[in-house]
Structure 1
Amino acid sequence: MNINFEYKDVSASQRLEAMATEKLEKLESKYTFIVNTDVYFKKENTTSPETGMISEVRINVPGTTLFAQANNGSFEASLAEACNDVAKQLRKKKEKMQTH
């Protein structure tokens, strides 16, 4: 699986990339039909300390693209939430594929 990382208003982080790669490789081992993945990290100016760090995960699978976005106080939390959301979408996609 090919994973592309993009950063907007954030410096590149090996730790975040390693964390994202670990989570996404677990998903790929469970869902072998994943083609490639894009992960975006953005920083947003907010007055609330619980938001502002945005993680987006876009997974390309045959026939469609799955997308999840999360906004939390840290990139780690937002990445975990986005990965959980996209895992739910992958589960639904796999169930649909099996019924056809």
Structure 2
Amino acid sequence: MTVNFQYVDIDVSDTLSDLTTEKLEKLANKFEFLISAQVYFKHDEKDHDSGKICNIELSLPGPRIFATSNEKNYEMAMSETINDLTRQLKKRKEVYKTH
């Protein structure tokens, strides 16, 4: 699975990229129909309590799956986003089983 990162208004973090890639690879092993992932890390200046945003868009057969979360730090945002994607992928896998 191909993973593309975009850091919007923040510095590029290799550790964050590696951690995200590792979690997405686990997801790809579980759901073999994944093609690629677009990962966006953003910072919202207006939100002082959280403001660390992670958006992930997964490309797979059929419509793309998208999830986003806004947390206190980027690791928490990334974990929450991947949890949301996992829930969506489980539903999608059930649809594939019926066909």
TM-score of the pair, normalised by structure 1:
0.96
Output the CA distance in 2 between the equivalents of 1:81 and 1:58. 14
Output the CA distance in 2 between the equivalents of 1:4 and 1:31. 18
Q: Which amino acid aligns with 1:70?
A: S
Counterpart position of 1:69: 68
Deviations 1:62-100 (A, max 9, x none): 011000000001000000000000011111000100011
Instruction: Write the mapping of 1:40-59 to structure 2, written as runs, cut at 5 A.
Output: 40-49=40-49, 51-59=50-58
Counterpart position of 2:30: 30
Q: What percentage of residue pairs aligned between the two structures are identical?
A: 38
Output the CA distance in 2 between the equivalents of 1:32 and 1:47. 37
Output the CA distance in 2 between the equivalents of 1:47 and 1:39. 21
RMSD: 0.8
Q: Which amino acid aligns with 1:71?
A: N
Structure 1 consecutive aligned stretches of length 4 or more whose deviation exceeds 3 Å: none
Secondary structure of 2:33 counterpart: coil
Secondary structure of 2:64 counterpart: strand
Unaligned stretches of 5+ in structure 2?
Answer: none
Secondary structure of 1:82 counterpart: helix
Determine if the alignment matches structure 1 residue 16 to structure 2 residue 16.
yes
Secondary structure of 1:34 counterpart: coil
Deviations 1:34-61 (A, max 9, x none): 0100000000013532x10000110011
How many residue pairs get matched? 99
Unaligned stretches of 5+ in structure 1?
Answer: none
